[in-house]
Amino acid sequence: MSNVFSLLLARETRLLFRRPAELANPLVFFAIVIALFPLAVGPQTQLLQSLSPGLVWVAALLAVLLSLDGLFRSDFEDGSLEQWVLSPHPLPLLVLAKVLAHWLFSGLALVLLAPLLALMLGLPGRCLPVLLFSLLLGTPVLSLLGAVGAALTVGLKRGGLLLALLILPLYIPVLILGSGALQASLQGLPTLGHLLWLASLTALAVTLTPFAIAAGLKISVGE
Amino acid sequence: MLFERLDLRLEAGQMLQVSGPNGSGKTSLLRLLAGLMQPTAGEIRWQGRTLSEQRAEVSRNLLWLGHAAGIKGLLTAEENLAWLCALHQPAERAAIWQALEAVGLRGFEDVPCHTLSAGQQRRVGLARLYLPAPPLWILDEPFTALDKAAVAQLEAHLAEHCRQGGLVVLTTHHSLALKPDGYRELDLGQRSL
Amino acid sequence: MNWTWFHKWGSPKWFYEMSGRWLPWLSVAAVLLMAVGLAWGLAFAPPDYQQGNSFRIIYIHVPAAFLAQSVYVMLAIAGLVGLVWKMKLADVALQQAAPIGAWMTVIALLTGAIWGKPTWGTYWVWDARLTSMLILLFLYFGVIALGQAITNRDSAAKACAVLALVGVVNIPIIKYSVDWWNTLHQPATFSVVAKPAMPFEMWMPLLLMVLGFYCFFGAVLLLRMRLEVLKREARASWVKAEVRMQVEKGL
């Protein structure tokens, strides 16, 4: 069983690396969204610094959401999902591997890119560990919750906008906790509480969402 | 509502060809049998128990080949087969190469599938039938895009599977030249909807 | 046309007959409760010592907000029943209740904003309750949009059920995180509901209004479900007979 998990992880990795451009797209999107804000609100350092926790988090959230639209689409179209649903292995385990692979190469890359963009917005260097930790704990939740929406909308021709409509409200706790942690760190307040809450959300999402994703895929495949 | 008063029972060694015009519900019937769709009414049983009671048991015994066979264009034929087999029982590399040779894809083992023709991609999917496979095969239009020789070869292979105690359910528009002993046909076109 | 809709709970025909019997009672109860509650609340309850007469909007706002939240929980319960026991009536209930819940959320938001003007001096503040309500409205939109987007009726119902279940697990988390966010950012806003106990003359009409809203919801839900059952069963003979009878009555 764990064998299938690692095989699927390897297969997904291979697939992702044969389309490197698609890996880069969310990252470029992330960078562009961040670059839009100084252009929109003005380049005052003070203002940008005080806004930066929120900006980084909103941009990261949108980038994850964007990258998830196609998560199951090609598997749905080429019949792979049918094979997964009909395999003797538990579907929640398979989807967990799939989302993990996706997170490793898009979520994690986002986490690594974020400090650079945050510095450009004027976030002081002492806040970077909190930024990294909060994104590290928060982006898996974003990926998992988004995968639920991707699974439910995979059979639809134009699922992208609907996916955003379904999933963005569910992202709010992560957004509040993540940007809250960063805000607290910016003001020199303790952040452990935020991070622990984020960690418990991660644990909750890893435990529960695979079942919802599997149920969503079964519905979409069974249509 | 697709079918009414449909009652059939299949034994090991039999082959069921589901035929009928477009839209008569061939694919839906196959998807119901495989457990991809749930019947609104009625029951489907495998060895006496309903499908939903024993999902894992049924999936261990079932090989499903749909319109789309789950072949990834970015992966090579070998990688595709290795993964599809791993979903049921992992296969050795040598066995995969043998299977690819059996479907006439020698020399294409490590070519990304999107460079193959439609018929060749179909053969990659069909190569699963030449690997150690579960006994129940449900095949939706397996002959699409195949040339004459390949069709004849596949027919022979399906008949052989039935002779060895396997069970085949398939849809196709052409009439099979080679019918095994346990051959049956279900024509959905002659049934009122 | 043979519908094995319900394994456990009667038939569509049975539901149609039963709901036809409940409907008048529910409607009468809703009208009576709301009429008494409104008259009492608007005309006879004493004005609030701080807010004067503007507080009277709670007789609409609070019941609508109550209902908005409990309807979402009801969606999730209906979804669970539909998924686990494959009861089609639960699917109907889920999809027919969602728009009512969304409207209740809109009413709660609108009355909240109107109430905000005399209280805070502005129609909208990012108060925890209002923000949570706004998010709840988005959650309703999600369920409705998903149900509309999927053409296959059974798949749509199942997908909505999964979404409602995910949503209902999330609602407490959203609520707590929004409350927390609010205390961090706006510690000093005037809290509307956390007040010393209301006198009897104030909360009794509120209770009547809440009950009245629930009865109203029940009646509207039954009406919508009956219509949907008729649509789904349009080919069944009892539906044809029923429609013929209604048409003749109308003429």
C100 within 8 A of C30, measured Cβ to Cβ: no
Q: Are residues C42 and C65 in the same domain?
A: no
In a domain, C6, yes or no: no
Contacts of C169 in chain A (CB under 8 A): 208
Q: What's the average model confidence in pLDDT over B105-112?
A: 86
In a domain, C128, yes or no: yes
**Domain boundary residue, one of C188, C214, C241:** C188
In a domain, C196, yes or no: no
Report pLDDT digits (tens) over C4-46: 544 445 578 888 888 888 899 999 999 999 999 989 888 888 8
Question: For residue B1, is pLDDT > 70?
Answer: no
**Percentage with pLDDT > 70 across chain A:** 99
- pLDDT for res A145: 95
Q: Are residues C167 and C230 in the same domain?
A: no
Question: For residue C204, is pLDDT > 60?
Answer: yes
Beta pairing class for B14-19 and B167-171: parallel
> Nearest CA to CA, how far is B58 from chain A (Å)?
8
What 3-state class would DSSP assign to A74? helix
Contacts of C86 in chain B (CB under 8 A): 38
Q: What's the average model confidence in pLDDT over A22-41?
A: 92
Q: Are residues C41 and C57 in the same domain?
A: no
Cross-chain residue pair B64–A86, CB shorter than 8 Å: yes
pTM of the model: 0.89
Q: Are residues C58 and C177 in the same domain?
A: yes
> Nearest CA to CA, how far is A216 from chain C (Å)?
6
What 3-state class would DSSP assign to B185? strand
In a domain, C4, yes or no: no
Q: Are residues C135 and C24 in the same domain?
A: no
Closest chain C CA to residue B37: C155
Report pLDDT digits (tens) over B123-181: 998 998 888 888 899 998 888 888 888 888 998 898 888 888 888 998 888 888 888 88
In a domain, C87, yes or no: yes
In a domain, C193, yes or no: no
CA A219, CA C162: separation in Å to the nearest integer?
Answer: 9
Read off the pLDDT band of C189 (50, 70, 90).
Answer: very low
Report pLDDT digits (tens) over C45-54: 888 777 778 8
Residue B31 dihedral angles phi and psi, to the nearest 5°: -65, -35
CA nearest C99: which of C227, C200, C2, C199? C227
CA C41, CA C45: separation in Å to the nearest integer?
Answer: 5
Question: For residue C102, is pLDDT > 90?
Answer: yes
In a domain, C155, yes or no: yes
Residue C48 dihedral angles phi and psi, to the nearest 5°: -70, 145
Closest chain C CA to residue B2: C1
Report pLDDT digits (tens) over B16-44: 888 888 888 888 888 888 888 887 777 88
Q: Are residues C78 and C116 in the same domain?
A: yes
Compute chain A's Rg from CA coordinates.
18
Report pLDDT digits (tens) over C114-152: 988 888 888 888 888 888 999 999 999 999 999 999 988
Q: Are residues C74 and C59 in the same domain?
A: yes
Q: Are residues C58 and C32 in the same domain?
A: no
Q: Are residues C36 and C72 in the same domain?
A: no
Quick one: tokens of B130? 């030449």
Q: Edge-to-edge, what's the strand order for the sheet holding B14-19?
A: B62-65, B136-140, B167-171, B14-19, B182-187
Q: How high is the mean pLDDT of chain B?
A: 84
In a domain, C105, yes or no: yes
Report pLDDT digits (tens) over C149-180: 998 888 899 999 999 999 999 999 988 888 88
What total number of domains does chain C contain? Answer: 2
Question: For residue C193, is pLDDT > 70?
Answer: no
Q: Are residues C144 and C73 in the same domain?
A: yes
Q: Which candidate in C84, C168, C177 is best for mutational testing of the A interface (most A CBs within 10 A)?
A: C177
Cross-chain residue pair A152–C163, CB shorter than 8 Å: yes
Contacts of C142 in chain A (CB under 8 A): 165-166, 169
**Percentage with pLDDT > 90 across chain C:** 43
CA A61, CA A135: separation in Å to the nearest integer?
Answer: 10
Q: Are residues C71 and C165 in the same domain?
A: yes
Q: Which range (A186-190, B4-8, B24-28) has the least confidence?
A: B4-8
Q: Are residues C38 and C84 in the same domain?
A: no
> Nearest CA to CA, how far is A54 from chain C (Å)?
13
| CB nearest B71 (choices: A78, A85, A88) | A78
Outline where chain C has alpha helix (H).
Answer: 12-39, 58-85, 88-120, 128-149, 153-185, 200-232, 237-250
Residues 154-213 of chain C with CB under 8 A from chain A are 155, 158-159, 162-163, 165-167, 169-170, 173-174, 176-178, 180-181, 184
CA B183, CA B168: separation in Å to the nearest integer?
Answer: 9
Residue B62 dihedral angles phi and psi, to the nearest 5°: -115, 135
Q: Which domain holds residue C23?
A: 12-46+202-251
